[in-house]
Structure 1
């Protein structure tokens, strides 16, 4: 099995395990959220989460961006970041949380901030995050979250965004921001 198939299989197995075992835990709350920062960059995104104790919750954010930002710029991607959070006070309540998350992404980005190259590839890894929650009403919360992680990425570099031949290829391990979010949350 080649490396790409292994990555897809691992991602599929994680999502399937979450779905199969979701009825085995006694969840008290569910939530759905969207990252407003992500929407601002054209990323269509949704995150489902489930509390499985008074201090722990599981999360599955998914984002997809099929759009061109402008003539020479794009930030196309499909990204999944499953994770867990530990809430200092109470799950989904006012206060702080810390999180542990995985990252899997397929990307095609370039022409951003005057950059003349386009990069295409995959990335996977994990990271830690911290955040703050502020209730807006009984069913609505606002969350702020920042995260940093270690990601392995392979990429191919092309001369221009729209066309051009490949000018480089590589892979490596990078320490990079993995979460930047201002989430609007609806609680069930």
Structure 2
């Protein structure tokens, strides 16, 4: 986990070494908005073919389902067209999230960290408006408390005043799927 975080920070620092006049855009992912997960993202041009993105998202009881999720997704993108924020791209990104989900009679309360590869295409609709279609996948590592509604988790899983997780592992999951609408600020 720590190595993934260090790698993402290193990639962002290396990509920003030649920053001159930057283009900056703000975006929202329409797919997440439809799923009642408000989000906002920023994308900064760092070179002739590269950008760095940061997206933040979260929800609280969407459609009445008892769940809370807060997360962040940094990403480094390389554009094949020779023009950033336009055409096909390849990205390397990460995801970090904290969640508390009550699904049927089970409760999942924990954190997730992951990294993945993203592929996509950015369409320019107007001088300052873009549509970004993207999909990505990768390993997502999780560590959470998993128990049933009527369990006495607070009493059974305490180890010297510290609640411990009883489930951890990883899954190969989509790390990013969506359609974003961007507005170029500068």
Normalising by the residue count of structure 1, what TM-score does the alignment of the two structures yield? 0.78
* In 2: Cα distance, 1:101 partner to 1:125 partner: 9
| Structure 2: tracts of 5 or more residues without a match | 157-164
1:93-129 Cα offsets, whole Å, 9 max, x none, are 2x21110001111011232xxx432211001121101
CA contact (8 A) 2:18 2:47 kept: no
Query: Structure 1 stretches of 5 or more lacking a match?
Result: none
- The alpha-carbon distance between structure 1 residues 156 and 29, as it changes in their structure 2 partners (threshold 3 A), is same
Asked if 1 retains the 8 angstrom alpha-carbon contact of 2:37 and 2:62, the reply is no
2:35 corresponding residue in structure 1? 41
Q: 8 Å contact 2:109–2:146 — kept in the other structure?
A: yes
- TM-score of the aligned structures, taking structure 2 as reference length: 0.79
Shift of the 142–157 alpha-carbon distance from structure 1 to 2, 3 Å rule, reads same
**1:144 aligned to 127, 133, 154, which one?**
133
Deviations 1:30-55 (A, max 9, x none): 11100111111221211111111121
Distance 1:165 1:131, change over 3 A: farther
The alignment of Structure 1 onto Structure 2 pairs a total of residues equal to 170
- The alignment partner of 1:43 has SS state of coil
Q: Provide the residue aligned with 1:105 in structure 2.
A: 97
Task: Report what 1:81 is aligned to.
Answer: 73
| Structure 1 counterpart of 2:142 | 153
Bigger-Rg structure (1/2)? 2
Structure-1 separation of matches of 2:132 and 2:175: 16
CA distance in 1, matches of 2:115, 2:128: 30
Quote the residue 2:88 is aligned against: 96
Number of the residue aligned with 1:128: 117
User: 2:85 is paired with a residue of what secondary structure?
Assistant: coil
